[in-house]
Structure 1
Amino acid sequence: MIGLLHTAASNAPLFDAALERPAVELRHLIRPELLEAAEAAGGLPPAVAERTAAALRDAAQGAGVVLLTCSTLGPVAEEARLPVPVLRADAALAREVVAGSGCVVVLYAAPTTREATGQLFDAAARRTGATIALRAVAGAWDAFRAGDTGHYHALVAEAAEEALARGADRVALAQASMAGAAGRVRGEVLTSPAAGLRAALAALGR
């Protein structure tokens, strides 16, 4: 079993769709209040990190590995001390997208994830020599928060198409919620549900 901690209910089906091994069970824990608290604080203060760590412990019950799917809360996974591996879905994405070096555009929508996402992808790129360009998708997070998923994905897809047209070798959709836009884009676009599950399945195999 893989335990997943989400901050948006709409992310759970994205991971269900990305699962390539149906014999593995996904158990979703959805805690939107954690992202809401981080957004209210403008980042990831200690109190929110502590609550996230507690939620990760809950997600670990009965699981062989835990996957944290929220980019804003991602740094908490790196400090977690649990009996099972705790992985960041976006960290798996970062490793995959920089593997071929070249120019990588990393798209994000939520302002609170900018710092954590930038640090994560920059660190991954230094190990391979890839060049990272971090770009916000204007208006996308407002659309997501308004519940307009169609417009949200359209804006993300448009930004990805533009990045590829301007010479990016690959585009990373840094937030799990963006994954629904990938199918609308011609070119190499990587998402965290697919990358995160590959990493989690590898951890289960070990």
Structure 2
Amino acid sequence: MRIACLHTADSNVAVFDTVAQQLNLPQGSLHHEVRADLLAAAELARGLTPDIERQTCDALLTLGRGADVVLLTCSTLGPCITAVSANAPVPMIRVDSALAEEATRAGGKVIALCAVETTLAPTARIFTDAAKRSGAEVEIRLVQDAWQLFRAGEHAAYLAKIAAATEDAYQDGATIVALAQASMAGAAALLTQAMKPLTSPASGLIAAMNALRP
């Protein structure tokens, strides 16, 4: 089993490796490529451009030639999966799409938290589409000032802010809180079991394993 992950933040490598261990994936199952330049370009352009989409698709196809399944772990770049899937040699999975399907499956009130503004629109689209199949009520929230902390390398403060926003969302009546970006996953460890959010690394890796099952 070889699962290739395209990341846009170095810190997500450890996040996915940790979740892979928790899911008992064989050691060495994950292969990581980090393309921070793609997210930086999208932030500068305030969203995806045709050139960023082309570069992302090229990176995904290259990874697919040496893997059994490919995970795109950046929610800002998520829409590129639609463009590349038809010509892909292996399954291509958006981790935020897997998250949206899991979060909305049972209906209820789902609040998806985002840390960076460029992911708001793609997250809203993917969660709204998933909610149509279950009748879930979906709200997308931006955690204000969180991304500045992440960019500054203040990861503990970043995760604390995400955890606080998760608590607020549950207190506001959410049935499920979903952390839309992989970098947010560590906040789950700061919360009680009653307020645990769903995270995209776990949802994405489970979807990858399901895609590989005969």
Scaled by the length of structure 2, what TM-score is found?
0.94
Aligned partner of 1:8 in structure 2 is: 9
Deviations, residues 44-86 of structure 1 (Å, cap 9, x unaligned): 0000000001111222132000000000000001221211010
Matching residue of 1:41: 45
Indicate the residue corresponding to 1:115 in structure 2: 121
CA contact (8 A) 2:104 2:136 kept: yes
Aligned residues: 206
Q: Structure 1 runs of 4+ off > 2 angstroms?
A: none
Q: Aligned to 2:112, which of 82, 100, 106? A: 106
- The question of whether the paired residues in 2 share the 8 Å contact of 1:169 and 1:188 is answered with no
Q: In 2, distance between residues paired with 1:183 and 1:170? A: 16
Cα distance in 2 between the residues matched to 1:41 and 1:144: 19
Task: For residue 8 of structure 1, give the secondary structure of its aligned residue in structure 2.
Answer: coil
Q: Distance in 1 between matches of 2:168 and 2:191?
A: 10
1:44-193 equivalences in 2 (<5 Å):
44-80=48-84, 81-186=87-192, 187-193=195-201
**Structure 1 CA distance, aligned partners of 2:63 and 2:154?**
28
Rounded to whole Å, the distance in 1 between the matches of 2:24 and 2:72 is 19
CA offset at residue 185 of structure 1?
Answer: 1.9
* 2:197 is equivalent to residue 197 of structure 1: no
Quote the Cα distance in structure 2 between the aligned partners of 1:35 and 1:75: 13
Percent identity (aligned)? 48
The 8 Å contact of residues 182 and 189 in structure 1, kept in 2 or not, is answered as yes
- Cα shift at 1:188: 3.8
Q: Deviations over 1:74-125 (max 9, x none)?
A: 0001221211010000000000000110001100011111110001001101
Q: Secondary structure at the match of 1:29?
A: strand
Give, in angstroms, the shift of residue 21 of structure 1: 3.0
* Secondary structure, counterpart of 1:119 in structure 2: helix
Distance in 2 between residues matched to 1:172 and 1:191, nearest whole Å: 6
User: For structure 2, which runs of at least 5 residues remain unmatched after alignment?
Assistant: none
Quick one: which amino acid aligns to residue 90 of structure 2? V
Mapped contact 1:160–1:171 kept (Cα < 8 A): yes
CA distance in 2, matches of 1:82, 1:188: 35
Q: Is the 8 A contact 1:34 1:52 kept in 2?
A: yes
Tell me, in whole angstroms, the C-alpha distance in 2 between the residues paired with 1:22 and 1:202: 12
